[in-house]
Chain A
Amino acid sequence: MTAMGDHERGGTASLDQLRPLERTVLSFIWRRFAGRPFSDDHLRTLIIPRLSGAEVQLGVLLLRRRGWIKAASKGWNEWEYCIPFHKLGFLQSSFGGLQAVPSAGEPSKLLQEGRAGISLDVFNTLVYAEKTSLAVTSRGVLHKKHIRRLEEIAALSPNDLDPAVLRFTQHEAYPPQIALILDLLQSLGLAAIQSLGLAAIQRHGLIIDRRALGEWLELSREAMDNRILFILMERCTPENPAYQHFVWRLCDPSLTCGRWIDPGLLLSDSHDGSQKEDGAGTISRLHAGEAFPWLRLLAGCGYIDLGENDDGRIVFRWRMTPLPALFGGFANSEAGSGRLYIQPDFDILIPPDVPYTLRFQAALFTERLSDDVMSVYRLTRDSVMEAARAGIGPEQIIQLLEKGAAAGFPDHVRTAIVQWGMGADDSENRPGHRLQLGNADLADGADGGSSRYPLPWSLDSAAAVITERAGSIGEAENEPDEVDERLPDIRSLLPDLTRIPAMWTKDWRAYHSSTAKQMMEQALALSVKLEISINGRRMEFIPRELGRNPWTITGALFPPGADGPESIVQLSEGQWREMRLLIPGSV
């Protein structure tokens, strides 16, 4: 069982432990809002069958206590709530499990094969940042030459990013794909704009957090892909809940790697068994055209292939297993144990199972030729000299290659490394520690300066903003059951019983018609339900709307206890006899 599996098990159990009220409220909130923030006003419009408004409020409070809903203050005693992003996967699997989605046929045309992968883009950007001092301008933006170089490095193309989905604050400074990659570096905690630590002039640049880098490189490619997918879903999914549900449905475990799927089947809830009970009609719909930008982003990031059927319908298939992302856990699958190949023509072949620590080290003294199934790097005179000048001497290179080589180390390559390394000007050498990863040395560069710039490439989406406000995913992930410390007292949510005669809630009896009407109106005002007797049957009633002249009260009527559907009825004076108010505090 992987760590993800444990995480998954814990999360599900925690969901199972919720009371029926909590579970119901959570399910409706998730369905209505997904990860989008919502306010008390939004909650008031949320109609959940058989639950009064007060019960919904109470449910929300209980869910906050259990960490299933987070709140952020908007000031003036106003709150904004949301389901923490890392919980959405559990909810998708518990409340939104897909019914069998049929496979689409092999597409007649391949629209876009998934690119090399966003993990490699992040990796190559890190290598470039490590090799080059990435200074920023006085405006806090990377210098143009670096941006141009990063554009060359990235496999992600600007065409993969639809401005309708992704907007960046500094879109005039950064091409969108670079903005996204830099945003990922920041979100992953791998790099930030900080002081370059030069004594004379206070300059800033993109500084790699070497400890975080060491930890990142220890991950398997699968884990990197999933972690980045998770962040993309968190930061790049449009606010529209229907869109968010679609994005999560895409990650359903039944849509296995390699199976072509018509995404049109995932746009609505028709394949989502849990939606059938939702009669509120409040869920907005998503059109195929709206969903395409997300698919294109996924293809650009190497997660899916996109094809087109004979009838012009778009189909997709996963190139990986997105399962861990669904649950918000990350497989700590073994980082590969593969080794690289040193070819006599100085090419260094890096199979996909080579650990990223080794790949990173090799990248520091080679030139990258291509990233593909097998990545190809090359040892050149320049790359070795450059490495030597940066403090990675020929002996270190040889030592690393000897250790990492799968099948021998040609003599002449070894000789050439020594010879080229000698050509570098020793006086420029920096301390040779950069090949050591995953240890304290990596932290050395991280304390260069603590004055972090604001994120110049931040995503401009509300989803990203609420994430910032409600706490980062990383934090939430480490403390999945964190309780909101700003929780109000439960009594503050309940009706002020001192203003209501005690018998209204305690005694089961008939009242004079004027009192009975008053009790109904009070129940409506307090958003609580009543127990009433109609034709000798005990029923529960949730008043929704009051009518005058003649007096009527419209609301949901249903028998207590049973699961049967509620009926919307209009009651006039005298249509019920015994009654009492049901205050949710007794739940």
Chain B
Amino acid sequence: MNPKPCIVQRDRTILLETAHPEFEQARRQLSQYADLVKSPSSFHTYRITPLSLWNAAASGKSAETICSSLQGLARWEVPVQVLAEIRQLVSRYGQLSLLPHPDKEQRLLLRSVSESLLNELRSLRTLADIGLDFRSSKEAEVPADRRGLLKQELTRLGYPVLDHAGYQDGQYLDIRWRGETDPLAATPGNESLPEASDPRKEEKVQGFRLRDYQREAAASIRDAGGSGGSGVIVLPCGAGKTVIGMAAMRELQCETLILTSNTTSVRQWVDELLRKTTLTPEDIGEYSGHRKEVRPVTVATYQILTHRPGKGDEQLHMKLFNERRWGLIIYDEVHLLPAPVFRATADIQATRRLGLTATLIREDGREHDVFSLIGPKRYEMPWKELEDQGWIAEVDCLEVKVPMTSHLKEKYLAAGKREQYRLAAENPSKLSTLIRLVERHPGAQILIIGQYLDQLKAIADRLQAPLITGRMAQNERHAWYAAFRSGETRLLVVSKVANFAVDLPDASVAIEVSGSYGSRQEEAQRLGRLLRPKQGENKAHFYTLVTEDSREEFFALRRRMFLIEQGYEYRTMTVMEGAVPAPVHAKQTSGRKEPRPAGRREASSP
């Protein structure tokens, strides 16, 4: 008999064998009640957490369904403790709910299905501090403005709350898709369209329309029967999270506050709103370090909200949450949401909230706050399915080892550690390798990304390509991006400004000539530039040039770890010293080509 695909560990992690014939089926099941922690080849790691179980419970899964799914997937017996914990944790979901008070407008009711649970809560000092007032054996009252704090604290204590207290509608705003006349008519994507075998072709022919998964994602946060209305959508980079946010705005027809991680992303939101909806520039405000416009749709950065003019001063811009009667707040990159914004969010729980992210896992471990204050996970689509459907590109990652000349080697050996890294990163031999790589992709939109300006300037001069750095004015940068997007320019040399959400839709080759010491986030951002679907074989190439036998190799490895954990595989090739530095003449450090396991991102030959 074929062994089952999963190994369930006692610490509630689950290892899923990617080469197993039932991998896909298992992955689908696991994603419903466990968080994907990392997905390198061979085995993907999932973890069952209280939040993943409550998210599952929020979508209607029972403990028995989860346990029997797990037992059906497990190669060896599921540890009894794991089953017991699943039953216990899931049973907590739905025990407590928050309801409008029947008589008092400024108060809410916390109702428990069992007296014993409410008795347990009675003894908790933190709840008393929030103002929870126990009125009967199964009900307690709380001031309406403590709604967020109460949910946050109860979730932290291990008692999730169903929030049925309702929402305010916010100020009406007419938002439609561009070209749409009646917002109640079919949304883009609902229209009857000619069948096409390739959805990307279809999109190209028909222009913008919601993809199926985007429509499902947008529908998943609908307020239905007192539940829903807020929550988090989890989609990988390049899946069009912005579009889902716009679809939610269109459905709710209300003024909206959009919070995102940086100014570039703010501009991207504004551009997309203008391009895809009927909103005009007068309707949309940018609230950032540069501008402070508060309009029916306002796009702000997290940084400006948390900005203090001086040490110890108030965060003046937090008032933005209350400057208009927002009907929806969108938290883009919700995994980056800073702690002070959580605090402000706790105060606006009567406003609908939508979180957008590629991962629920936060570096600071505050996933509980995302769950209690933004909402449970409502929809998730793994990258693999999107890649299979052609909505994101397949990326081939190749690390090219470039040797040092004997002169550089001497200098390197005599240098201190920091200097060694710099010397290796700026290894002049990388230039000739770079040129050969550029030549290998004629006609492709190529980004050359680096850390050190001198090195980038030399490259830009040699390739006669524009160099974009932080010093360049935003307008000029946008002009070059536009030229790159239109294909007028096919080569851009960019500094770390490319680390952020620069909208470079058709870059199909990225060559990283140097990077900061070990930033995993940086590597992810750089690779993210390539994920948008490509014409033809829908494939992109990501090259990293690393000086052989140097400290740069170590840091390059650290930078890649996030992506390796996400399932990307890097191959390595070494440029022969003294030879023409072309990949075609390269020797591979490994002569092996591994069989491709299902569910793994393929690293194919350039």
Which A residues fall within an 8 A CB radius of B? 110, 113, 116, 258, 305, 341-345, 347, 349, 351-352, 370, 372-374, 381, 406-412, 414-416, 419
A408 — nearest CB in chain B belongs to which residue?
Answer: B594
In the assembled complex, 16 residue pairs joining A and B whose CB atoms fall closer than 8 Å, in A order, are: A110-B84, A113-B80, A305-B80, A341-B42, A343-B42, A345-B565, A352-B76, A373-B9, A373-B76, A374-B9, A381-B554, A407-B597, A409-B590, A410-B41, A412-B399, A412-B557
Q: Is the CB of B15 within 8 A of A415?
A: no
Q: Which residues of B contact A419 (CB under 8 A)?
A: 549, 553-554
The B27-77 residues at the A interface (CB cut-off 8 A) are: 38, 40-43, 76-77
Q: Is the CB of A351 within 8 A of B42?
A: no
B7 CB–A CB distance under 8 Å: yes
Q: Which residues of A contact B40 (CB under 8 A)?
A: 343-345, 347
Q: Which residues of B contact A352 (CB under 8 A)?
A: 76
Chain A: minimal CB distance from B78 (Å)? 9
Q: Which residues of B contact A381 (CB under 8 A)?
A: 554
Given that A373-B76, A374-B7, A412-B557 are contacting pairs, would A344 and B597 also be in contact in the complex, using a CB cutoff of 8 Å? no
Q: Is the CB of B43 within 8 A of A343?
A: yes
Q: Is the CB of B10 within 8 A of A407?
A: no
Q: Which residues of B contact A372 (CB under 8 A)?
A: 9-11
User: CA A419 – CA B40 in complex, angstroms?
Assistant: 22
Chain B: minimal CB distance from A385 (Å)? 12
Chain B: minimal CB distance from A114 (Å)? 9
Number of A-B contacts (CB under 8 A): 88
Q: Is the CB of B572 within 8 A of A373?
A: no
The B539-565 residues at the A interface (CB cut-off 8 A) are: 549, 553-554, 557, 560-561, 564-565
B596 — nearest CB in chain A belongs to which residue?
Answer: A408
Q: Is the CB of B43 within 8 A of A370?
A: no
Q: Which residues of B contact A416 (CB under 8 A)?
A: 553, 557
Q: Is the CB of A370 within 8 A of B9?
A: yes
Q: Which residues of B contact A370 (CB under 8 A)?
A: 9, 11
Q: Is the CB of A373 within 8 A of B7?
A: yes
B199 CB–A CB distance under 8 Å: no
User: CA A381 – CA B561 in complex, angstroms?
Assistant: 14
Q: Is the CB of B595 within 8 A of A408?
A: yes
B76 — nearest CB in chain A belongs to which residue?
Answer: A373
Known: A408-B595, A409-B590, A419-B549. 17 other contacts (CB 8 A): A113-B79, A116-B10, A305-B80, A343-B42, A345-B40, A351-B7, A373-B7, A374-B9, A407-B594, A407-B597, A408-B41, A408-B42, A410-B41, A410-B569, A410-B570, A416-B553, A419-B553
Given that A110-B81, A113-B79, A373-B9 are contacting pairs, would A345 and B38 also be in contact in the complex, using a CB cutoff of 8 Å? yes
Given that A113-B10, A372-B11, A415-B572 are contacting pairs, would A407 and B42 also be in contact in the complex, using a CB cutoff of 8 Å? yes
Mask for B212-242, Cβ within 8 A of A = 1, else 0? 0000000000000000000000000000000
A402 — nearest CB in chain B belongs to which residue?
Answer: B592
Chain A: minimal CB distance from B103 (Å)? 41
B401 — nearest CB in chain A belongs to which residue?
Answer: A415
B572 — nearest CB in chain A belongs to which residue?
Answer: A411
The B391-416 residues at the A interface (CB cut-off 8 A) are: 399
Given that A113-B79, A374-B9, A419-B553 are contacting pairs, would A341 and B572 also be in contact in the complex, using a CB cutoff of 8 Å? no
A420 — nearest CB in chain B belongs to which residue?
Answer: B554
Chain B: minimal CB distance from A547 (Å)? 63
B181 CB–A CB distance under 8 Å: no
Q: Is the CB of A343 within 8 A of B41?
A: yes
User: CA A414 – CA B589 in complex, angstroms?
Assistant: 9
Q: Which residues of A contact B589 (CB under 8 A)?
A: 411, 414-415
Q: Is the CB of A407 within 8 A of B571?
A: no
Chain A: minimal CB distance from B36 (Å)? 14
Q: Which residues of B contact A258 (CB under 8 A)?
A: 77
User: CA A370 – CA B569 in complex, angstroms?
Assistant: 25
Q: Which residues of A contact B561 (CB under 8 A)?
A: 345
B556 — nearest CB in chain A belongs to which residue?
Answer: A412
Q: Is the CB of B592 within 8 A of A409?
A: yes
Q: Which residues of A contact B554 (CB under 8 A)?
A: 381, 419
Residue from B43, B549, B592 within 8 A of A349 (CB atoms):
B43
User: CA A372 – CA B74 in complex, angstroms?
Assistant: 14
The B141-194 residues at the A interface (CB cut-off 8 A) are: none
Q: Which residues of B contact A414 (CB under 8 A)?
A: 589-590
B550 — nearest CB in chain A belongs to which residue?
Answer: A419
User: CA A509 – CA B329 in complex, angstroms?
Assistant: 115
The B577-598 residues at the A interface (CB cut-off 8 A) are: 588-590, 592, 594-595, 597
Q: Which residues of A contact B77 (CB under 8 A)?
A: 258
User: CA A341 – CA B18 in complex, angstroms?
Assistant: 12
User: CA A416 – CA B561 in complex, angstroms?
Assistant: 13
Q: Which residues of B contact A411 (CB under 8 A)?
A: 570-572, 588-590
User: CA A415 – CA B560 in complex, angstroms?
Assistant: 14
Q: Which residues of A contact B549 (CB under 8 A)?
A: 419
B19 CB–A CB distance under 8 Å: yes
Chain B: minimal CB distance from A304 (Å)? 11
B8 CB–A CB distance under 8 Å: yes
Most buried by A among B42, B84, B565, B595: B42
Q: Which residues of A contact B19 (CB under 8 A)?
A: 407
User: CA A243 – CA B77 in complex, angstroms?
Assistant: 31
Q: Which residues of B contact A113 (CB under 8 A)?
A: 10, 79-81
User: CA A167 – CA B205 in complex, angstroms?
Assistant: 82
User: CA A411 – CA B80 in complex, angstroms?
Assistant: 39
A113 — nearest CB in chain B belongs to which residue?
Answer: B81
User: CA A345 – CA B557 in complex, angstroms?
Assistant: 10
Q: Is the CB of A412 within 8 A of B84?
A: no
A347 — nearest CB in chain B belongs to which residue?
Answer: B40
Q: Which residues of B contact A409 (CB under 8 A)?
A: 590, 592
Chain B: minimal CB distance from A34 (Å)? 32
Chain B: minimal CB distance from A341 (Å)? 4
Chain B: minimal CB distance from A303 (Å)? 14
Q: Is the CB of A349 within 8 A of B15?
A: yes
Chain A: minimal CB distance from B400 (Å)? 12
Given that A343-B41, A349-B43, A412-B570 are contacting pairs, would A110 and B80 also be in contact in the complex, using a CB cutoff of 8 Å? yes
A305 — nearest CB in chain B belongs to which residue?
Answer: B80
Q: Which residues of B contact A116 (CB under 8 A)?
A: 10
User: CA A372 – CA B594 in complex, angstroms?
Assistant: 28
Q: Which residues of A contact B570 (CB under 8 A)?
A: 344, 410-412
Q: Which residues of B contact A347 (CB under 8 A)?
A: 40
User: CA A345 – CA B565 in complex, angstroms?
Assistant: 6
User: CA A22 – CA B488 in complex, angstroms?
Assistant: 103
Chain A: minimal CB distance from B253 (Å)? 46
Q: Is the CB of B84 within 8 A of A345?
A: no
User: CA A533 – CA B130 in complex, angstroms?
Assistant: 96
Q: Is the CB of B553 within 8 A of A374?
A: no
A375 — nearest CB in chain B belongs to which residue?
Answer: B9
Q: Which residues of A contact B80 (CB under 8 A)?
A: 110, 113, 305
B569 — nearest CB in chain A belongs to which residue?
Answer: A344
User: CA A413 – CA B20 in complex, angstroms?
Assistant: 23
Q: Is the CB of B7 within 8 A of A342?
A: no
Chain A: minimal CB distance from B329 (Å)? 36
B565 — nearest CB in chain A belongs to which residue?
Answer: A345
User: CA A305 – CA B10 in complex, angstroms?
Assistant: 13
Q: Which residues of A contact B10 (CB under 8 A)?
A: 113, 116, 372-373
